[in-house]
Amino acid sequence: MSGAGAAGTDDGPDPVVVVRVGPLRIGLPVAATRAVVRPEGITPLRDPSGRSTPGALVGMVAVHGRVAAVVDPRPALGLAPLTAGEDLSGDAAGGDRQQLLVVADPLGRFALLVDEVDGVTPDVDASVRRVEVADLVAGVVAAPEPADPEQGVGP
Amino acid sequence: MRPSAGFTDEARENLAALEQGVLALEAPDGTGEGEHAELVAALFRAAHNLKGMAAMEELDELATVAHRMETVLDHHRHGGGRPDAATVDVLLAACDLVGALIDAADADAAAPSSEAILARLDATIAAQSGSPDRSAPGPSAPGPSAPSSAGGSDDPWPDGAAGGIRVVLDAAARLPKARAMVVIRRVGTVAEVLATIPDPDGLATGDRRDLTVVVAGCDDPDGLAAAVAGLPDVAEATWVTPPTPAPAPDGPAAPPALPATDHVVAPTTTIRVDVDRLDELSDAVGELVVNRNRLAQEVARTGDLELATALRRVNRTLADLQLSVMRVRLVSLESTVERARRLTRDVARDLGKEVHLEVEGAETEVDRSIVDEVVTPLVHLLRNAIDHGLEDPDTRRAAGKPPAGRLGLRAYHQGSQVVVEVSDDGAGIDVDRVAAKAERLGLLRPGDRPTRDEVVQLMFTPGFSTREEVSAVSGRGVGLDVVRSQVSALGGDIDVVTRAGEGTTFRLRLPLSLAVIEALLVQVADQTWAVPLDAAVETARLGHLVGGVGAAPRAARHRGALVAAIDGRRTLAGAPPTDGTEHHVAVLFDDLGTRFALVVDDLLGSREIVVKPPPARLAGLDHLAGVTVLPDGSVGGIADLPVLARRWRAENPRSAGIVGAGDREPPAGAAGLAAALPAGLRRAADALGSLVGAPVDLSSSRWESAGAGAVLLAVPLHGDLAGEVGLAVSGHAVVLRVQGVDERWHADAVVEWANVLASQFAVGVSDALSGDVRAGLPEVVAEGSGRPGDDGRSAFAATLRAGPAVVRIHARLDAPATPR
């Protein structure tokens, strides 16, 4: 996981969207964020094989016609999953203040279930942990397939 | 510097023509001299076009390579005879380089070195003429066959001119001279160009935007004008005839009048459209479908008749729109076929094999996204067929086959699917070897006796392929599991038909379009899933499910037969297993010859859905083929049925005692149908085992003569069913014979059992029938019926209906007259 610090360019550090997840404040690159919406209309989705991190995959949601996987970032941040043991369905995604931060990454499109979105800031202080989308969704994304498909099959 | 818009596509088109033509030069079936001359001339034109285009874009490296190719071809165009294999090799290598140079230009990346290929081309030219051709065209130097200009606009038309194409370029055309050259080349593909009025150079420097390309003759002036009108930046294209000089007996000839216009042609007939724009259009139509569905729900809820009428009109228009968008996205498989030709040639040559590729249905059209994605699995299958399927020439001769192997690539539409077959006439899959390897890999346990089909299916198991296998056989190939997963990802499926000594056919079934499909929506626990309607055979209400106590059901009885049951609650929704004692609804589908029942909680009806890719590759959710936005705005998953079937197989491996019949070939001389009978018998025997509650052991089965040219597959029965079940085959007549001493063979049970055995037998035979019988038929339906006979025996008939063809199997179940 990326540590705190200011990744950026010659023009200065990249701004981040600061969100609160439990007791943590984390910063995600603004470039990766797409929308902030209320957690409504979530279709529950479970991993029958149990290969994903328990509780991390919550479901799917359509935002502006595009589908995102709803992910609880807490397990990736070392916190207990918000939805552990719950039969999440429909609008029962959490408290009133919770929000979905929709992010896009080469790994896919995700809606992160966060407690609150603080805002955008170019300066991250020590209280904000700077993370990448990949850090938060690693537990729900399948490992890439082997790069070399050149395997033999010879009867 | 990136080339101008349109260059890449046009250059690739010329390259494709070039590559295709070069391959045709060495086609085994040969061409007449006239055809050969035409082919070489066409190749020359393609190389010439490439050179001109590259020069205009200041892609000197590409222009140089194209020029050298042109020189090589020019030798053959002017009496140089047919190019030998070495020349074809050089030209193909040059094609590869041209492709790489085009890619590099398109990506604005560094061009690959052309030194080695140029050296080979020079060597070829030297061999042809005695001295290498070192000339290379500069950006402003047209190639040797570029038409001479007739001079300025006032220049007279040259002698022999039949007419010309007068072109007016868009005022905003960025590179008028380049566009003019494109026009000249296009005209030159169908007519002999004599001159241009004015010189194209004049277009580059002045404000003038019109040009007349004068030709010696043209069979289809309107068609040519229309073709030119479709070129980039051409505002107008018209066919004109030479001006008639006014009589001037006492003075110099009068200046030519402006060319007379005969026909004005519509400026464009075709346009190039960026694929991204098509995707956007497709997405927009998809959203329209979703909103239409929401509206339909509201109409149904309110019962508003006026709104319902309006909705019907919207439906009609939307259906037309969908069809139009889908058609726009359709492209033929030609490009894929051309890649296959090249691959076949190269791989065959590498392996020292002679291979004839027979192509059928290259014009078959499918969605562009399918074409893009199907290339990789097809390439793998073709390579595998050449590498592993076809024998070397000596082995083939020894087997009484022609030394050149036959590789077939066939594509055709079947309903809303497109079927692509890769077949070979090689040795067929060595099932024993595959089984032995599967045992080494732990996929089979010692003593397991899978059928022939089941062994073949093991080749699709992830991890089946190994490097060890590659090095032992040929060093190239691909795991079939990868092929299958790629096909599955497209919403398609793959099956295999193989016969020892006769060859193997891999059959890919793919959807025509990925954008909008008809789907059956089902409720599974708290989730809504979509099942592609194309894949569903039927829906049914099932009785008790068969499975262990507390475990998910593994089988279900349907129409007297056992089908594999997949518990949707557990496998799709990750919910607790379905209670097997309840009645359930299911969606039945077939996968690799097995019928499956996807057990769900409720059927919600069918509707069109817009297929969207999953938001990510989610761990443990490889059964998620895609997603869709439901009318209520929520998201539904699209079930990947082949993945579910594969999982079921992995969780329910066959136990011992069912191998034998399926692995043995019937004696030589048995009818073609006989080859499929073991599969039917095996299914019937499986069903029999289920009915009597004891496994039927086929391991000791044997083929023996049954008189009058018939053969009998006799299978001993053990335990309570001591006796023998046999399958006598004579041509297409089949008798299923049971010889035993058990009272259970009597009374009504016999009829019921006969029905079950008949249908299972028919399904097994149907699945194993050769492609010759099943090819092109939409589906095969097996029906069985039975009745007790007067003599205490029961007869049944199994009928396989397959579109217009019907295969009937009449069988008689002989029961012992005297119970034990």
Q: What is the pLDDT of residues B504-527, one digit of tens each?
A: 999 998 877 666 677 889 999 888
Q: What is the pLDDT of residues B745-788, one digit of tens each?
A: 443 444 455 556 656 666 666 666 544 333 322 233 344 444 44
Set of chain A residues whose Cβ sits within 8 Å of the Cβ of B526? 44, 87, 89
Set of chain A residues whose Cβ sits within 8 Å of the Cβ of B283? 65
**Strands B635-639, B503-511: parallel, antiparallel or unpaired by DSSP?**
unpaired
Identity of the residue numbered B618? L
Secondary structure in 3-state letters for B530-576 = EEECCCEEEEEEECCEECCCCCCCCEEEECCEEEEEEEHHHHCCCCC
Report chain B's terminal Cα–Cα distance, integer Å. Answer: 92
CB-based contact (8 Å) between A41 and chain B? Answer: yes
Nearest C-alpha in B relative to A89: B526
Q: What is the pLDDT of residues B593-618, one digit of tens each?
A: 678 889 999 988 887 777 777 888 88
Q: What is the pLDDT of residues B781-817, one digit of tens each?
A: 344 444 444 444 444 444 444 333 334 444 444 433 3
Structure tokens at B604: 């919600």
Q: What is the pLDDT of residues B28-46, one digit of tens each?
A: 555 566 677 778 888 888 8
CB-based contact (8 Å) between A37 and chain B? Answer: no
Q: Is A134 exposed, middle or buried (0-12, 13-18, 19+ CB in 10 A)?
A: middle
> pLDDT at position B272, please?
72
Q: What is the pLDDT of residues B309-348, one digit of tens each?
A: 888 888 888 878 877 777 777 888 888 888 888 888 888 8
- Can you tell me which residue has the tokens 């003038």? B208
A to B CB pairs, distance under 8 Å: 152
Contact indicator for B101, B65 with CB cutoff of 8 Å: yes
User: Could you tell me which of B557, B593, B561, B565 has the C-alpha nearest to residue B758?
Assistant: B561
- DSSP H or E stretch at residue B285: helix B275-302
> pLDDT at position B529, please?
94
* % of chain B with per-residue pLDDT over 90: 5
Structure tokens at A18: 């600061």
Question: Maximum distance among all alpha carbons in chain A?
Answer: 62
**Strands B702-707, B555-558: parallel, antiparallel or unpaired by DSSP?**
unpaired
Rounded distance, CA B101 to CA B114, Å? 9
CB-based contact (8 Å) between A51 and chain B? Answer: yes
- Better-scored residue on pLDDT, B767 or A5: B767
Buried b (16+ CB within 10 A) or exposed e, B239-259: bbebeeeeeeeeeeeeebeeb
* % of chain B with per-residue pLDDT over 70: 63
Contact indicator for B128, B72 with CB cutoff of 8 Å: yes
Compute the residue count for chain A.
Answer: 155
Rounded distance, CA B90 to CA B436, Å? 44
Taken in order B109, B110, B114, B116, the sign of the CA dihedral is: negative
Query: Which segments within B97-209 are labelled E, that is strand?
Result: 163-169, 193-197
Set of chain A residues whose Cβ sits within 8 Å of the Cβ of B488? none
Confidence bin at B465 (pLDDT 50/70/90): low
Q: What is the pLDDT of residues B61-105, one digit of tens each?
A: 888 898 888 888 888 877 777 888 888 888 988 998 998 898 888
Give the ipTM of the model, two decimals please: 0.81
- DSSP H or E stretch at residue B261: strand B260-265
Confidence bin at B633 (pLDDT 50/70/90): confident
Set of chain A residues whose Cβ sits within 8 Å of the Cβ of B380? 149
Rounded distance, CA B38 to CA B715, Å? 64
Identity of the residue numbered B58? E
Confidence bin at B202 (pLDDT 50/70/90): low
At residue B91, the 3 state secondary structure works out as helix
CB-based contact (8 Å) between A106 and chain B? Answer: no
B366-385 mean pLDDT: 84
CA-angle at B519, arms to B538 and B311, nearest 5°: 120
Nearest C-alpha in A relative to B572: A48
Confidence bin at B697 (pLDDT 50/70/90): low
Q: Is B788 exposed, middle or buried (0-12, 13-18, 19+ CB in 10 A)?
A: middle
User: Could you tell me which of A41, A102, A19 has the C-alpha nearest to residue A68?
Assistant: A102
> pLDDT at position A12, please?
59
CB-based contact (8 Å) between A149 and chain B? Answer: yes
H runs (alpha helix) in B130-236 = 176-188, 200-205, 221-229
Set of chain B residues whose Cβ sits within 8 Å of the Cβ of A65? 283, 287, 290, 629
C-alpha distances (whole Å) from B629 to each of A34, A61, A103, B85 are 19, 9, 19, 56
- Better-scored residue on pLDDT, B240 or A4: B240
B620-625 mean pLDDT: 84
Tally of CA atoms within 13 A in the half-sphere of B39 that contains its CB: 19
User: Could you tell me which of B197, B190, B231, B236 has the C-alpha nearest to residue B214?
Assistant: B197
Identity of the residue numbered A38? R
> pLDDT at position A53, please?
78
- Can you tell me which residue has the tokens 């059927």? B603
Q: How many Cβ atoms from other residues are within 10 Å of residue B732's Cβ?
A: 13
Contact indicator for B627, A60 with CB cutoff of 8 Å: yes
> pLDDT at position B324, please?
79
At residue B371, the 3 state secondary structure works out as helix
Rounded distance, CA A114 to CA A73, Å? 8
C-alpha distances (whole Å) from B613 to each of A100, B329, B510, B651 are 20, 18, 16, 27
User: Could you tell me which of B813, B465, B444 has the C-alpha nearest to residue B659?
Assistant: B444
- DSSP H or E stretch at residue B64: helix B60-77
Q: What is the pLDDT of residues B532-590, one digit of tens each?
A: 887 788 888 876 666 543 455 567 777 666 778 888 988 898 887 776 666 678 898 87
Q: Is B766 exposed, middle or buried (0-12, 13-18, 19+ CB in 10 A)?
A: buried
- Better-scored residue on pLDDT, B284 or B765: B284
Which residue in the set A48, A108, A152 is minimally distant from B616, CB to CB? Answer: A108
Contact indicator for B72, B90 with CB cutoff of 8 Å: yes
- DSSP H or E stretch at residue B323: helix B305-329
Q: How many Cβ atoms from other residues are within 10 Å of residue B595's Cβ?
A: 20
**pLDDT at residue B303 above 80?**
yes
Rounded distance, CA B91 to CA B22, Å? 7
B3-21 mean pLDDT: 78
The one-character DSSP state at B153 is T
Q: Following CA atoms A133, A135, A136, A141 in sequence, which dihedral angle do they give, to the nearest 10 degrees?
A: 90
Nearest C-alpha in B relative to A102: B615
Rounded distance, CA B762 to CA B785, Å? 11
Rounded distance, CA A153 to CA B385, Å? 10
At residue B692, the 3 state secondary structure works out as helix
Structure tokens at B266: 């519509």
Give φ, ψ of A130 to 5 degrees. Answer: -85, 125
Question: Maximum distance among all alpha carbons in chain B?
Answer: 126
Secondary structure in 3-state letters for B129-178 = HCCCCCCCCCCCCCCCCCCCECCCCCCCCCCCCCEEEEEEECCCCCCHHH
Rounded distance, CA B636 to CA B659, Å? 41
Q: Do B616 and A89 touch (CB under 8 A)?
A: no
Q: How many Cβ atoms from other residues are within 10 Å of residue B173's Cβ?
A: 17
Rounded distance, CA B185 to CA B147, Å? 10
